[in-house]
A and B are shown apart, each in its own frame.
Chain A
Amino acid sequence: MKKILLLIFIAGLNFSLYSQELEDILDQEAPDYTTITTGTFNGTRIMNGHSVETRKKGILEFVISHRFGRINTGIYELFGLDNSNIRFGFEYAIIDDLTIALGRSSFEKTYDSYLKYRLLKQKTGAEDFPISLTLFGSATVKTLRDYEPEDEPPFIDRLTYTTQILLARKFSPDFSLQIMPTYIHFNTVPTTEDPNDLFAIGIGARIKISKRISINGEYYYTINPFTSVTTYNSIALGVDIETGGHIFQLIFTNSRSMLEKGFIAETTGNFFEGDIHFGFNISRAFQVKKPKEKNKLY
C-alpha cells in the first residue's frame, strides 16, 4: 500500500511540474541559433584608425574630426587649440558589410576615399567563430600647393594607398582587442632613401567603464619608417561615448593627421615629450534607407 501511495505521490508531483515540462519542450524545440557578436567597438574608429565595425545597410554616417595643435605649445597657443585641423567625411553602408566613404582633411588639403568590407564575423552558438575580420583599402590625394607653380607634379604623384587587415575579438562585453597589419604605398616620398612601401602593425583595445562609455587606446608600430625625417610610432588614448546615434570620441594623440598614411607613416610628434594633440571624432548616423522588416536569426 505504501508503494501505491508513493506512486500516486509521484504522479501528483508530475502534475505540479507540468509548466516545467512545457518549458522543457520549448527548450527542446527551440532551434539551434547562432549569435553574431555585435558591438565589438562602438564606432567605426577605435581612435585615429578604423575598427572592424561597419554600419548596417542604408546608414549614412557623417563624421567630423578635429585635431588641435600640440599641448606643449603652452598658453600662448591655448595649448594647441588655436591651431586646428579638420576632417569631415560621408560614410555610406551600401550593404551591411560594405562601406564606401569620401572625406576631406584640411591638413595638406587632402581628399580621401575608402572601401571597407567586413569579411568574417565573430559568432557564438550553433556556429562558433572566434574573430571578426575586416578589409580596409583607402586612397588619398594631397592637393596642397607646396611646389613652385611651374613644377606642378602630376596628379598620380600625389596619391598614397593604404591596405589594412583588421582582426578583432570581443573577449567580453567590456573588453575588445584588435590587431591591424598595415601596408602603405606612397607614389612619392620625401627623398630617394625613403621607402615607397611601408609596413606597420597596429594594436587597439577598448575597455568599457559603463554601458555607454569606454576607454580606447591604439598604437601603430612602423616596421620600416621614413629615414629622411624623424618619425614616431602613433599613439592614441581617449574616451568613447555613445549616446544613441551619436558617438563622441575625445582623443589624445601624437599624430596630427587623421588619415592612415598620415598617422602611421608621418607622425612627427613625440608623445613622451608632450607633443600631444587633443582632438575629437563626432559621428552621427542617419538611416537613409529603411531595412527590410524581417531579419531571421535562425
Chain B
Amino acid sequence: MKQLYFILFTVLLAHQAFSQDKYLTKEGYVSFFSHSLVEDIIANNNQVLSIIDTKTGEIAIQLLMKSFSFKKALMQEHFNENYVESHKYPKAKFIGEIINFTDLNEQINETEIRGTLSVHGEEKEITTIAIVDIQAEEIIITGEFTVEVADFKIKIPSIVINNIAKTIKISFELHHKPYIK
C-alpha cells in the first residue's frame, strides 16, 4: 500500500512539475496575406493564444477569426460572414509539436513544427520550419507557411476570383512567457 501511495504521490508531483514547464502568450501575432494582380489583402490578429509544454515540445495555438483586422471594414465583415463563417466556426486552432524541442539550446534555433491546423471546420496537416528563440524568461517562435484556400472548403465566388489568391501566406510571431497557474 505504501508503494501505491508513493506512486500516487509521484504522479501528482509530476503533474505539479509539468504545469510549471509551460509557456503561454495571450497576445501572439498571426497575419495572413493574399497577393493577386488586382489587390493585396492583409489581415492581422494580435490576440492569439499559444502555449508550449517545454517538457514535450508540444504546442497549442488558438485564435478568434473575428479578431482579424483588415484595412477595409467591409472586407472584414465579408470575411467573417461569407468566407470563414465565424458564427459557425469562431476559432482557428493548431495542435502540434516542435520537433526535438528538448534538445534545443538557449539560443536561436531553426526547427520543424508539425501539427494539425483546423480552420472553418476543416483539418489539415502542416509541417513548417520555424525559428525558436529560447531565452531565460521567454520563448519566441516565428515563421511562416502557406495554405491552400480550397483545403479548408472556403469558397471564393467567381466575381472576386481575381481578387483573392488561391494560396495564402500565414505568418506568426509568438512571445511566450512562463505560465503560472
Q: Which residues of A contact B (CB under 8 A)?
A: 3-4, 7-8, 10-11, 14-15, 18-19, 22-23, 25-27, 29-31, 33, 35, 38-39, 55-59, 173, 211-212, 242-245, 285, 287, 290-291, 293-298
Contacts and interface: CB of A to CB of B under 8 A. Distances in A.
Given A10-B11, A30-B62, A35-B66, A245 B74 contact: yes
Interface in B18-63: 18, 22, 24, 26, 44, 46-47, 49-51, 53, 56, 58-62
Contacts of A33: 64
Interface residues of B, number: 50
Interface string B77-107: 1101110010110100101000000000000
30 contacts: A4-B3, A7-B4, A7-B8, A7-B11, A8-B7, A11-B11, A15-B56, A19-B58, A22-B60, A25-B22, A25-B51, A26-B60, A27-B62, A29-B49, A30-B62, A38-B80, A38-B81, A56-B74, A57-B73, A58-B73, A59-B73, A173-B87, A242-B78, A242-B82, A244-B75, A244-B157, A285-B74, A287-B71, A291-B71, A297-B47
Given A14-B15, A22-B53, A287-B73, A29 B66 contact: no
A243 B74 CA distance: 11
Contact of A293 (B15, B69, B90): B69
A26 B82 CA distance: 27
Contact of A26 (B14, B62, B78): B62
Contacts of A296: 47, 67
A11 to B, nearest CB: 5
Interface of B: 3-4, 7-8, 11, 14-15, 18, 22, 24, 26, 44, 46-47, 49-51, 53, 56, 58-62, 64, 66-67, 69, 71-75, 77-78, 80-82, 85, 87-88, 90, 93, 95, 155, 157, 159-160, 163, 179
Instruction: Name the prevailing secondary structure of the B interface residues.
Output: mixed
Contacts of B22: 22, 25
Given A18-B56, A38-B81, A56-B73, A7 B7 contact: yes
A29 B155 CA distance: 32
Contacts of A293: 44, 69
Contacts of A23: 60, 62, 93, 95
A297 B157 contact: no
A214 to B, nearest CB: 12
A4 B4 contact: yes
Contacts of B50: 26
A39 B81 contact: yes
A4 B7 contact: yes
A148 B46 CA distance: 66
A25 B179 contact: yes
A1 to B, nearest CB: 9
A18 B80 CA distance: 32
Nearest to B160: A244
B44 to A, nearest CB: 7
